[in-house]
Amino acid sequence: MALLEIKNLSVTFPTAAGVLRAVDGIDLRVDQGEILAIVGESGSGKSVSMLAVMGLLPPAAVIRADQILFNGQDMLRLSARARRKIIGKDISMIFQDPLSSLNPSFTVGFQICEVLRLHLGLSRRDAAARAIALLDAVGIPDPAARMNSFPHQMSGGQCQRVMIAMAIACKPRLLIADEPTTALDVTIQKQILDLLADLQRETGMGLIMITHDMGVVAETADRVIVQYKGRKVEEQPVLDLFSSPQQAYTRALLSALPENATGLRLPTVDTLMKGGA
């Protein structure tokens, strides 16, 4: 049985120029223990589709789907209270920008402990001990001292590790990582990817990796969904996608990799899409 199964998801936003369709009929499935990558350029609806699952889109967003099943439960039919018991505990998310996602007014220790106390009902002492262990697990040096640090007192890589610690605090069955290596240097990127892969293997959780970096996809994913203008244009196992991409847009993404650069001027994405597969 699929861990998460989405059928015909659409997300629209009202604007002064009319209705903006950010996600248009997406189908998606991820199994326990699987790493699914969702790729595409900025604005292709990758993050919006997952934020819709998490219930974190603004009130103006209109979300429609035939079904959003998590572990056999229809998320669309659950009450807000029932959804809150799942989101943050069984389904967790690493957000794209840790500095804007962490609360600057509270220490990182307080923010991790808050998750543990809310979802697991731990005492202050037990939550603090668990938070220190989590910071140590994600590679934060001197974790006990770092519990008292505010986000602005930590580097971007360390804040990203704090976000990962918060996301895995309750041992989720599904982890969504939204551009987890954006704005990090190459060394830190590798450390973060290795950390996520190790956690996924150790816990057996499902992992959805949202990215525009095809190198990250090649290194981590089992299966890949390619999105363009809110729609799914291709889905393949990762090795098949790189060896025999079926759609023009996928070939355009792969041709943009540095190792595939030839110095020739490539056609625009819109031109490729008009030309078909």
Per-residue model confidence as pLDDT tens digits over 141-165: 999 999 999 999 998 888 888 998 8
pLDDT for residue 1 is more than 70: no
Instruction: Give the pairing of strands 73-74 and 67-70.
Output: antiparallel
> Would 95 be classed as within a structural domain?
yes
Average of pLDDT values for 174-193?
80
CATH of the domain at 89: 3.40.50.300
User: How confident is the model over 93-127, as pLDDT tens digits?
Assistant: 998 887 788 999 999 999 999 999 999 999 999 99
Residue range 215-241: mean pLDDT, rounded: 91
Residue 23 covered by a domain: yes
Mean pLDDT to the nearest integer, 243-262: 79
Q: How many CA atoms lie within 13 A of 225 on its CB side?
A: 21
Closest CA to 224 of 204, 244, 205: 244
**Each residue of 38-96: pLDDT tens digit?**
998 888 899 999 999 998 899 999 999 999 999 888 888 888 888 888 998 899 999 88
The yes-or-no verdict on residue 193 having pLDDT over 60 is: yes
- Domain annotation covers residue 270: no
Q: Is residue 181 part of a domain?
A: yes
Q: What was the pLDDT predicted at 218?
A: 86
Structural domain of 162 = 2-261
Within a domain: residue 269? no
The answer as to whether 150 is a domain residue is yes
The tokens for 241 are 């996608």
Q: Which long-range contacts (CB under 8 A, 24 or more apart) does 196-200 make?
A: 196/164, 196/220, 197/35, 199/164, 199/168, 199/175, 200/33, 200/35, 200/175
Q: What are phi and psi of 18, to 5 degrees?
A: 125, -170
Decide: 36 and 30 in contact? Cβ < 8 Å. Answer: yes
Average pLDDT for the chain: 87
Rounded CA separation 210/21 (Å):
19
Residue 194 bridge partners (DSSP): none
Length of the chain: 277
Q: Which range has the top average pLDDT, 215-219, 220-224, 255-259? A: 220-224
Position with higher pLDDT, 37 vs 157: 37
pLDDT at 276: 53
Q: Show Cβ contacts of residue 42 under 8 Å, excluding neighbours closer than 6 positions.
A: 212
Q: Which helix (H) or strand (E) holds 7?
A: strand 4-15
- Buried b / exposed e over 112-142, threshold 16 CB at 10 Å, is bbbbbbebeebeeeebbebbbebbebbbbee
Q: Which two tokens stand for residue 128?
A: 């603090």
Q: Based on the structure, what is the number of domains in the chain?
A: 1
Q: CA-CA-CA-CA torsion for 264, 267, 273, 274, nearest 10 degrees?
A: -130
Asked if residue 276 belongs to a domain, the reply is no
- Domain-located, residue 273: no
Question: Which candidate, 18, 177, 150, 32, places its Cα nearest to that of 93?
Answer: 177
pLDDT at 266: 47
Q: What pTM was computed for the model?
A: 0.85
Give mean pLDDT, residues 7-29.
93
